């Protein structure tokens, strides 16, 4: 008999410590004098003292969770809190899985990039854009090349025209130190 009592005490204490969080108050954390209690199936059990509500939840081997703390009196629901948290985590994971993370892929060009290399890099950019990613096009100026930014602007304009069917220019070509940068975004499907 004594071991059963110790086990029950350990079980409820352990359960309370492991599944409690800062968002919702559960079981002994609820210290209100009166609470409105909702049963597992959604039926109203009425207004009762906090201790009676906790006792009612423990009779059913479930938890008492304060779901609306700002109501007068606060609304508490009898539920399996561990199962509730599991399902909530599952929903959050599913929502996160359905999100599309847009990455920024970089294409580096040079002032002396040949036609075939230019087309290859353009095709890579088109592939990135079709996957839904943004493309950062950069040209690095070395030495005396820095004195001729107009050549870089021409290359950037030609690259934007090459990818124009699949992209919009999000940020036009601009010098940033020794680099010239341009950002392309995929066209929105209508």
Mean pLDDT of 137-150: 90
Q: Which residues, other chains included, contact 113 with Cβ-Cβ below 8 Å and sequence gap of 6+?
A: 121, 155
- pLDDT for 113 equals 85
- Predicted confidence at residue 122, as pLDDT, reads 93
- Estimate the crossing angle of helix 149-162 against helix 115-130, to 10 degrees: 50
The pLDDT value given to residue 189: 62
Average pLDDT over residues 137-143: 91
Other CB atoms within 10 A of residue 157 CB:
14
CA pair distance 184, 170, nearest whole angstrom: 5
CATH number of 104-186: 3.30.110.10
* Nearest-angstrom CA–CA distance, 93 and 95: 5
**Residue ranges of domains in the chain:** 22-82, 104-186
The pLDDT assigned to 21 comes to 46
Q: Residues 27, 54: contact at Cβ < 8 Å? A: yes
Integer-rounded Cα radius of gyration of the chain? 31
Write the DSSP symbol of residue 101: P
Per the CB < 8 A criterion, the answer to whether 38 and 78 are in contact is yes
Q: For residues 90 and 171, what is the distance between their CA atoms, to the nearest angstrom? A: 39
| Predicted pLDDT of residue 13 | 56
Cα-based angle 32, 82, 41 (whole degrees, multiple of 5): 70
CATH label, 22-82, candidates 1.10.3720.10, 3.40.50.10700, 3.40.50.1000, 3.10.20.80: 3.10.20.80
Q: Is the dihedral of CA 56, 58, 61, 66 positive or negative?
A: positive
Per-residue pLDDT tens digits for 31-67: 888 888 888 888 888 888 888 888 888 888 888 888 8
Across 56-178, the runs of DSSP E, i.e. the strands, are 63-68, 75-79, 104-109, 134-140, 167-176
β-strand 34-38 against 104-109: which pairing, if any? unpaired
Average pLDDT over residues 140-144: 89
Of all residues in the chain, the percent with pLDDT exceeding 70 is: 87
Q: Which helix (H) or strand (E) segment is 116 a member of?
A: helix 115-130
Question: pTM score, two decimals?
Answer: 0.51
């Amino acid at each position: 008999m004594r071991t059963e009592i110790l086990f029950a005490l350990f079980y409820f204490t352990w359960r309370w410590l492991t599944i409690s969080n800062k968002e919702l108050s559960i079981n002994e954390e609820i210290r209100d004098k009166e609470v409105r209690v909702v049963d597992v199936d959604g039926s109203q059990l009425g207004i009762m003292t906090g201790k009676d509500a906790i006792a009612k939840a423990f009779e059913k081997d479930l938890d008492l969770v304060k779901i609306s703390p700002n109501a007068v009196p606060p609304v508490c629901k009898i539920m399996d809190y561990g199962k509730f948290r599991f399902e909530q985590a599952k929903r959050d994971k599913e929502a996160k899985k359905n999100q599309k993370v847009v990455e920024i892929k970089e294409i580096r060009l040079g002032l002396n990039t040949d036609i075939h290399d230019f087309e290859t890099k353009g095709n890579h950019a088109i592939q990135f854009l079709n996957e839904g990613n943004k493309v950062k096009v950069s040209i690095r100026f070395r030495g005396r090349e820095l004195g001729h930014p107009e050549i870089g602007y021409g290359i950037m304009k030609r690259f934007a025209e090459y990818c124009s069917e699949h992209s919009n220019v999000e940020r036009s070509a601009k010098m940033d130190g020794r680099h010239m940068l341009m950002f392309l975004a995929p066209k929105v499907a209508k």
